[in-house]
Amino acid sequence: MKKKMTTVPFQGTAEQEKQLHALIAEHCGTPGAIMPILQKAQAIYGYLPIEVQQIISDGTGISMSEIYGIVSFYSQFVLNPKGEYAVSVCMGTACYVKGAGAILDRLAAIIKVDPGEVGDDGKFSLDATRCIGACGLAPVFLVNEDVYGRVEKPEAVDGMMKKYME
Amino acid sequence: MKNVNELKAIHEKMKDFIALRTPEGKAEPGYRHVLVCGGTGCHSSGCDAILKALRASITAHGLDEKTTVIVSGCHGLCALGPLIIVYPDAVFYELVEVDDIEEIVTSHLMNDEPVLRKVYHEAIIDGKMVPYRETDFFKYQHKISLRNCGVIDPECIEEYIGRDGYMALAKSLTEMKPADVIEELKASGLRGRGGGGFSTGMKWSFAAAVESDKKYVCCNADEGDPGAFMDRSILEGDPHAVIEAMAIAGYAIGADEGYVYVRAEYPIAVNRFEIALNEARQHGLLGADIFGTGFNFDIHVRLGAGAFVCGEETALLASIEGKRGEPRPRPPFPAVKGLFGQPTVLNNVETFATIPQIILHGAAWYGTMGTEKSKGTKVFALGGKIKNVGLVEVPMGATLRDVVEKVGGGIPNGKTFKAAQTGGPSGGCIPASLIDTPIDFDNLLAIGSMMGSGGMIIMDEDSCMIDIAKYFLDFTVEESCGKCSPCRIGTMRMLEILERITNGQGVPSDIEELVDLGNHIKATALCGLGNTAPNPILSTIRYFRHEYEEHINDKKCAAGVCKALLEFVINDKCKGCTLCKRKCPTDAITGEVKELHVIHQEKCVKCGICYDICKFAAIDKV
């Protein structure tokens, strides 16, 4: 999926930047360290906006084009922040043959966010993810850490989402 | 560890304790091991709460002395989680809820009366309970790679050692030359479990033959094939087997450093593996001068970042080096020029997990299982429309029928078996007419599929084969790294044709065009992923051409999946409840209360809401 640049303004704190600098210092010199640095930077900020990539580029001496090339290549690196409630629907084969596509459509309609995006109010984001390995519970979707499995019919998600909608 | 005797001492101390969980196990009356499955499947279904309640109840009833609670890896029956197994009686509880714990503790652990209503339903025959090992799901399996999964506590190295763990490393380092290890593997006929099926012994011998100061051993745990989860289960349930085998590989080829490249989507596996690495280091089974032999070896963990192509070996190595995970042409093969330009052996998790057993018991023992050219066993992740969803290990040469009907328990809801998809996005569909094919590497290739990493998705009559082909192609298009044009552009063109067909705009020449494009991509793509990307389409055309023709010529989808080709109509079961009329987003349904309703096709957008909500089965898809 083509990655869209975020429209949400960058709101990094000084504390986060301090952590990031410490992280870069810790990994500098390890061969192939850019991947772990980006992974941990994303853990600090929740996503990898251009501003964060710039700090990493300055700190490691790796060019911005190379860093952006890596960030845009791997699906786990995200350019958009996640919502307060990150909703993700497993699209692994087992879930797919048991109707995950219809569940994704239903969720998109309820929270009014398209897959891969975050709503303007920042409350919900929606993603179609690769197999999360809970094939025995197919079809499965997650809201942050909460797992909803064996979703028999698309309408069943209405009730499950209720507590997040208020 | 300075010498092998220290290892043997731990083994001696632990072996009877662990044996309690095997059929030969013996225990003092009333003493039990209670295993709670802590695999990802059971984790998602809430095993943490079960574990907490179980521990609290055991303590409250003063059973701490007589009961050992163990968190194990995956038992394979993920659909029935959370699971609890009680030994030595071998009682298997399914779908356990927190409210059941008190009864299990008071009735079973205190009064020797298993709670039959929660026992695995297949283990109850005519109201009597049999040990779970005698049920169909378990009795037809033969576990080598999975032998410790669900048996030991993966976070306790001593339990692994009690199951002969690290004995193969000890044997290699003290009784065998590096060349002997490689010869043993070659003789065993072990072929790589990651998909390609190349001889593991040959691969090692190529890397061993190259002169170099620095070599690497890498483990491919980037299990991206949707529907396959055996590598995750092994890392979660038996991480030391992988560590031990990587060290053996290091000894055999002359490497002192290893990398495990694992999907970041597998947090439990990553965590358990790191715990295991630390335990191995503390026991001197990794690090410098292992067993006092002068052999040094250590392992690093690198996380993937969600790129399917990184399962391809050259792309994986590029990713460890901190680059975009794009494949490069081979030769040179990684065995000659791999990680950081040095000779590298790269094997998959399941392959590594098999190796200690081969070294311990010998190539001849391993050769007694399997077919002439595919030795040993293979793990499959059974999913889709099948009763026993989960992880199974069967000898190579078992037929698809054995796997589906015996181990898998058949198709649920009285439906019939239509096809099995193996090999994920690189594989193909095997139709019901070939259900008696013995499964091995070469047979699957001959019928247009492949072993792949072992995902096996079962489909029934409600599955549309063109929809399945489209699903996998959609996956490939999304995951194509874009480096070579046959894969980047070719798969996109194929997907457009499939979308046209499923939208009712297919033309008769589409089938030949798909075959033609598919064969070109197979012949010209850069890496294994591109070469195999057309397989799901080519194999469904080969066995289900009539479905393609039906979609194209008659504009019909018999399975009722392709919505553009369906019409929703109301039959005479309609009671006139008005529910569908009220829920229809386009007001395409009219009708008065208690009168037959009608769907107006020109307004219907085929969303299927009416079909799903009707309580009287009054809506047909035709």
Q: CA B229, CA A140: separation in Å to the nearest integer?
A: 15
Closest CA to B22 of B109, B112, B93, B85: B85
Q: How confident is the model at residue B139 (pLDDT cuts 50, 70, 90)?
A: very high
Q: How confident is the model at residue A133 (pLDDT cuts 50, 70, 90)?
A: low
**B330 CB contacts (<8 Å, ≥6 apart)?**
B314
- What mean pLDDT do residues B162-168 have? 97
Q: CA A111, CA A117: separation in Å to the nearest integer?
A: 11
B240 lies in some domain: yes
The total number of structural domains that make up chain B: 5
Tokens of B317: 């190595």
Q: CA B451, CA B443: separation in Å to the nearest integer?
A: 9
What is the predicted pLDDT for the residue at B585? Answer: 79
Give percent of chain A above pLDDT 90.
56
- Residues 204-233 on B with a CB inside 8 Å of A are 224, 226-227, 229, 232
B117 & B50 share domain: yes
Is a pLDDT exceeding 90 seen at residue B41? no
B49 & B100 share domain: yes
Q: What is the number of CB-based contacts under 8 A between chain A and chain B?
A: 130
Domain harbouring B527, CATH code: 1.20.1440.230
Give percent of chain B above pLDDT 90.
86
Task: Summarize pLDDT for B479-528 with one digit per residue, the tens.
Answer: 999 999 999 999 999 999 999 999 999 999 999 999 999 999 999 999 99
Q: What mean pLDDT, rounded, does chain B reach? A: 94
B444 & B484 share domain: no
Per-state percent for chain B, helix, strand, coil, to nearest 5: 45, 15, 40
B208 & B344 share domain: yes
Instruction: Give the pairing type, strands A117-118 and A124-129.
Output: antiparallel
In angstroms, the Cα distances linking B192 to A150, B159, B197, B478 are 34, 27, 4, 26
Name residue B455's beta-bridge partners. Answer: B381
B149 lies in some domain: no
B247 lies in some domain: yes
Q: Decide if A48 contacts A63 (C-beta within 8 A).
A: no
Of B78, B326, B613, the CB nearest to A135: B78
Tokens of B331: 């030769």
- Residues 313-342 on B with a CB inside 8 Å of A are 319-326, 340
Element (H, E) at B239: helix B239-253
Tokens of B234: 């092994």
B239 & B329 share domain: yes
Residue B44 to residue A69, Cβ atoms within 8 A: no
DSSP string across B135-159: SHHHHT---STTTTTTTS-TT-HHH
Tokens of B4: 């092998």
Domain harbouring B383, CATH code: 3.10.20.600
Return the residue of A nearest to B467 by Cα: A97
What is the predicted pLDDT for the residue at B564? Answer: 87
Closest CA to A98 of A65, A66, A131: A131
Q: CA B621, CA B556: separation in Å to the nearest integer?
A: 11
A137: chain B residues, CB-CB within 8 Å? 41, 44-45, 78-79
Q: Which amino acid is at B389?
A: V
pTM for the predicted model, two decimal places: 0.91
Task: Summarize pLDDT for B359-392 with one digit per residue, the tens.
Answer: 999 999 999 999 999 999 999 999 999 999 889 9
What is the predicted pLDDT for the residue at A42? Answer: 95
The residue count of chain A comes to 166
B380: chain A residues, CB-CB within 8 Å? none
Residue B302 to residue A149, Cβ atoms within 8 A: no
Q: How confident is the model at residue A26 (pLDDT cuts 50, 70, 90)?
A: very high
B308 & B354 share domain: yes
Q: CA B366, CA B548: separation in Å to the nearest integer?
A: 43
Is a pLDDT exceeding 80 seen at residue B393? yes
B171 & B255 share domain: yes
Q: How confident is the model at residue B405 (pLDDT cuts 50, 70, 90)?
A: very high
Domain harbouring B615, CATH code: 3.30.70.20
Contact of B35 with chain A, judged by CB distance below 8 Å, is answered with no
- What mean pLDDT do residues B434-461 have? 93
B562 lies in some domain: no
**A30 CB contacts (<8 Å, ≥6 apart)?**
A36
Contact of A36 with chain B, judged by CB distance below 8 Å, is answered with yes
What is the predicted pLDDT for the residue at B160? Answer: 98
- Min mean pLDDT across A88-102, B425-439, B536-550 is at A88-102
For residue B100, count other CB atoms closer than 10 A to its CB: 19
B585 lies in some domain: yes
**B604 CB contacts (<8 Å, ≥6 apart)?**
B567, B568, B586, B588
- Tell me if residue B344 falls in helix, strand or coil: strand
Q: Decide if B118 contacts B96 (C-beta within 8 A).
A: yes
Q: CA B61, CA A29: separation in Å to the nearest integer?
A: 56
B187 & B273 share domain: yes
Last residue of a domain, one of B515, B531, B554: B554
Q: What is the ipTM of this complex?
A: 0.84
Closest CA to B112 of B38, B27, B186: B27
Going by the DSSP 8-state scheme, the letter that residue B405 receives in this structure is I
Last residue of a domain, one of B463, B480, B497: B463
B330 & B402 share domain: no
B334 & B405 share domain: no
Closest CA to B229 of B364, B96, B76: B76
Domain harbouring B48, CATH code: 3.40.30.10
Is a pLDDT exceeding 70 seen at residue A1? no
Catalogue the long-range contacts made by A147-154 (C-beta closer than 8 Å, 24 or more residues apart). Answer: A147/B44, A147/B45, A149/B44, A149/B45, A151/A99, A151/A103, A153/A99, A153/B612, A154/A99, A154/A102, A154/A103, A154/A105, A154/A106, A154/B612
Last residue of a domain, one of B517, B532, B554: B554
**B369 CB contacts (<8 Å, ≥6 apart)?**
B142, B144, B375, B376, B377, B395, B396
A39: chain B residues, CB-CB within 8 Å? 264, 303, 305
Is a pLDDT exceeding 60 seen at residue A36? yes
B575 lies in some domain: yes
Task: Summarize pLDDT for B334-351 with one digit per residue, the tens.
Answer: 999 999 999 999 999 999
Return the residue of A nearest to B46 by Cα: A147
What is the predicted pLDDT for the residue at B264? Answer: 87
Q: Decide if A158 contacts B254 (C-beta within 8 A).
A: no
Q: CA B377, CA B155: separation in Å to the nearest integer?
A: 26
For residue B475, count other CB atoms closer than 10 A to its CB: 24
Domain that residue B503 falls in: 466-554
Residue B323 to residue A140, Cβ atoms within 8 A: no
B152 lies in some domain: no
B221 & B321 share domain: yes
- What mean pLDDT do residues B92-112 have? 96
B147 lies in some domain: no
Residue B179 main-chain phi, psi, to 5 deg? -65, -30
Q: How far is A10 from chain B (nearest CA, A)?
A: 23
Closest CA to A128 of B229, B560, B384, B475: B475
B75 & B163 share domain: no
Task: Summarize pLDDT for A5-16 with one digit per residue, the tens.
Answer: 777 788 889 999
B384: chain A residues, CB-CB within 8 Å? 93-94, 97-98
